[in-house]
Amino acid sequence: MNAGINVVVCCAVITGACASTGGTPRPFPTPGAHARAAAPPDASKPAVSDYDLVGTALALRGVPYKNGGSDRNGFDCSGFTQYVFAQYGVALPRGVRDQFNTGKTVDRKAFEPGDLIFFTTTEPGASHVGIAVGSDEFVHAPSTTGVVRVERFTSSYWAPRLLGGRRVLSER
């Protein structure tokens, strides 16, 4: 009887060592088990939520405007959006017009937090960009005399200049 218990314990120790050696346990055989398994999600790309992205953008309120700026020492509008998205591994082009051609077009009535919102300000076409916060608010780096701040795109200044939006985050 003792010999039987020793055999069971030895078998348990030997087969249990498999998982601790770093081997990948295999599932029980199933029909079609020889089919290729789906690739796991790319762990090098962090999941991006609109909540996190908007939180990062809002945390930068008060950073001064700097023409050509793209870091915490100062931002211009497209440097600001590029910086915020880059924190989550999402690459945006540097220029406003190039950002306007990124992602999917979004109607102004369907803006969601994290969408890019574009305006015509200094010249025809997309010349200013910000990030939708929710409701009718967006966060942006507005001008040479300003700082990163939140405004309403329905205000008397921004509403007539609103060009449209782009959705870059693909989970929605």
Residue 140 annotated as catalytic: yes
C-alpha to C-alpha distance for 40 and 35, rounded to whole angstroms? 15
Residue 77 annotated as catalytic: yes
Instruction: Look at strands 149-152 and 162-167 and give their pairing.
Output: unpaired
C-alpha to C-alpha distance for 50 and 139, rounded to whole angstroms? 13
C-alpha to C-alpha distance for 127 and 168, rounded to whole angstroms? 18
Residue 34 annotated as catalytic: no
- Percent helix, strand and coil across the chain, each to the nearest 5: 30, 20, 50
Among 11, 18, 34, 128, which one carries the catalytic annotation? 128
Catalytic residues: 77, 128, 140
